[in-house]
């Protein structure tokens, strides 16, 4: 997620990051940025300090107050040590001063994402299912089948939720992007694909539909 009121900069960075295989949403002011950040669907937020309305520091304090621990990289034209300390004390994970090298920005983004991944195993498990985050393979009792990117993302979210329900809007925001025009029936199609693969592997784990809400994972043997 990119939040900055400099539209030309945001659009250029968004294009660059998409070229580097990242999924990117943008907000051009603090109000929209806060609304997006509170959805808690992002792996990283790149946040400008000086914006009209809700400034970056206030936005950051708000999301931390709401117990959202998404890594945040602050961008600012302020280079004084006291300004950096203020940002870090507010809950930022890193601080980059404008103007900056694009290569350095991408390197810092990669470093923050790697730091987050340290705390999550490459193999996710639920019931008799294991999901390999490197190969996108779904395995059950030694048998494996490949998932496409969206199937993987949906199943990853369900496994990490550990049986808790996830609503369809969250799937759309996380898998397709905050500004996506994907509809609920699109999610239903991909869930059907995953169910077929689970059935093919004779898994006792299933994706349960919760009427009016979304989906969760259950083990049929429990």
| pLDDT, tens digit, 9 for 90 and up, residues 137-189 | 999 999 999 999 999 999 999 998 889 999 998 898 888 876 678 888 899 99
Fold annotation for 123-219:
Arc Repressor Mutant, subunit A (1.10.10)
- Number of Cβ within a 10 Å radius of residue 87: 24
The 10 Å CB-count burial string (b at 16+, else e) for 71-83 is: bbbbbbeeeeeeb
pLDDT value of position 121: 59
**Number of H-type helices and E-type strands within the chain:** 8, 12
- Number of Cβ within a 10 Å radius of residue 46: 26
Torsion angle (degrees, nearest 10) of CA 183, 175, 54, 51: -110
Q: Which CATH number fits domain 2-117: 3.40.50.2300, 3.40.309.10, 3.40.50.300, 1.10.3210.10?
A: 3.40.50.2300
* Domain spans, the chain: 2-117, 123-219
- Segments of the chain with pLDDT less than 70: 116-121, 178-179, 222
Give the whole-angstrom CA distance, residue 49 versus residue 37. Answer: 15
Whether the model clears a pTM of 0.75, i.e. scores above it, the answer is no
């Amino acid at each position: 997620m990119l939040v900055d009121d400099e539209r030309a900069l945001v659009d250029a960075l968004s294009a660059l990051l998409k070229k580097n295989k990242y999924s990117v949403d943008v907000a051009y002011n603090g109000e929209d940025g806060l609304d997006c950040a509170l959805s808690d669907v992002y792996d990283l937020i790149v946040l400008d300090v000086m914006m009209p309305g809700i400034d970056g520091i206030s936005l950051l304090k708000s999301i931390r107050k709401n117990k959202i621990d998404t890594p945040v990289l602050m961008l600012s034209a302020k280079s004084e040590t006291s300004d950096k300390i203020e940002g870090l004390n507010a809950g930022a994970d890193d601080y980059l001063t404008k103007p900056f090298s694009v290569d350095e920005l991408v390197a810092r983004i990669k470093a923050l994402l790697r730091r987050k991944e340290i705390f999550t195993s490459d193999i996710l498990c639920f019931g008799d299912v294991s999901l390999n985050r490197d190969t996108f393979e779904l395995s059950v009792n030694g048998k494996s089948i490949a998932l496409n990117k969206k199937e993987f993302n949906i199943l990853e979210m369900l496994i990490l939720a550990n049986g808790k329900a996830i609503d369809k809007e969250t799937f759309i925001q996380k898998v397709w992007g905050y500004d996506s025009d994907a509809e609920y029936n699109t999610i239903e199609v991909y869930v059907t694909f995953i169910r077929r693969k689970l059935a093919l592997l004779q898994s006792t784990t299933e994706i349960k539909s919760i009427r009016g809400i979304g989906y969760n994972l259950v083990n049929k043997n429990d």
